[in-house]
Structure 1
Amino acid sequence: MGMCASIQSTKKRGTMLITNGPSSTVKVVHSVEGNLQEFRHPITAGHVLAEHPNTFFLCNSEEMLIDSHVPHVPDDEELQVGQIYFLMPISMANHPLSLQELCVLATLASSALEKAAEMKKKEKTVSFSDRRKTKCNRNARRSPKVDFQLALKKLD
């Protein structure tokens, strides 16, 4: 029933793993704006980064470690379906991530996934009242035409 996002971290390696159930898309979370892009077809990191020349880089959420530099996804690498990637500003390239920063990114991803799930649900669901309004509007359009000449004769 909907998408579920969870964050797991291991004490050994301090990794962040975000899971959201089975997925047939590549998900890219923009770490600054918090929006989510989904790609249903194979796409390379370079293609995603083409929209942000020399200002951002991509990283796989499963490869992010506490107190380690964020590993870049090479431009020619094809992004994997079911994976979540972060679009990170270049300023974070040589900056080791703290536990707090990883938690912020996990929260951001969770929020973006939730918003996307809500949008998909709204697109697929038409409420009963909307169907009723549509039906009423259809009936209004199908009302018989008024014969104004006949109406004028009845007024005389």
Structure 2
Amino acid sequence: MGICSSCESTNVATAKLILHDGRLQEFSYPVKVSCVLQTNPACFICNSDEMEFGDVVSAISDDEVLQPGQLYFALPLNRLKHRLLPEEMAALAVKASSALGTSGGEKCGCRKKRTLEVSCQDYRSRKVGDYGDDGLRRGRKGGDGGGRRRKYTAILSAIPE
């Protein structure tokens, strides 16, 4: 029904590597970390499962093979042996989400939605006028007058005991 098209997917588990610039590399074949580092010499590779808040970021051994179904990050060498701050973890999560959201489906034209990369500074610098005191985004005021403005009131009330 409609103009819906589909494509047959072959779900092959791949090792996914998020590069420090936000690009995604996928490997459907076994590849050693040393091989990946040849194209990214200013980086080290770390497994996302081994990253925790406040913990030191450590590199995977050059002899280790990237495992299908795992997510890895290529980080600049200056981040090696440094503690991972919550803001940095959030930035990496956004970077991974953005890279994973734009991957796949290119061959048959059914791309996934792109996600917007937002850094912590961008979030804090939004105009206060766009949001109410309750944190909800407000729509634009005015308009063509064709619609009624909805009133949002609390549906729940207190029940005295």
Please indicate the TM-score interval, normalised by the length of the shorter structure.
0.5 to 0.7
Displacement of 1:109 in angstroms is 0.2
1:94 equivalent to 2:81? Answer yes
Match of 2:31 in 1: 43
Give SS of 1:46's match: helix
Displacement of 1:23 in angstroms is 5.4
Q: Give the structure with the larger strand fraction.
A: 1
Displacement of 1:77 in angstroms is 0.3
Contact 2:58/2:81 (CA < 8 Å) preserved in 1? no
Displacement of 1:30 in angstroms is 0.7
Displacement of 1:110 in angstroms is 0.4
The structure whose Rg is larger is 1
Choose between structure 1 and 2 for higher RCO, CA contacts under 8 A separated by at least 6 residues: 1
Displacement of 1:52 in angstroms is 2.1
Identical aligned residues as a percent: 38
1:124 equivalent to 2:108? Answer yes
Give SS of 1:116's match: coil
Moved segments of 4+, more than 6 Å:
none
What's the CA shift string for 1:75-126, capped at 9, x where partnerless? 0001110000000000000210011110110110000000113xxx232138
Aligned AA for 2:53?
I
For residues 81 and 71 of structure 1, the distance between their equivalents in structure 2, rounded to whole angstroms, comes to: 20
Match of 2:63 in 1: 76
Match of 1:24 in 2: 13
Unaligned runs of 5+ in 2: 1-10, 111-161
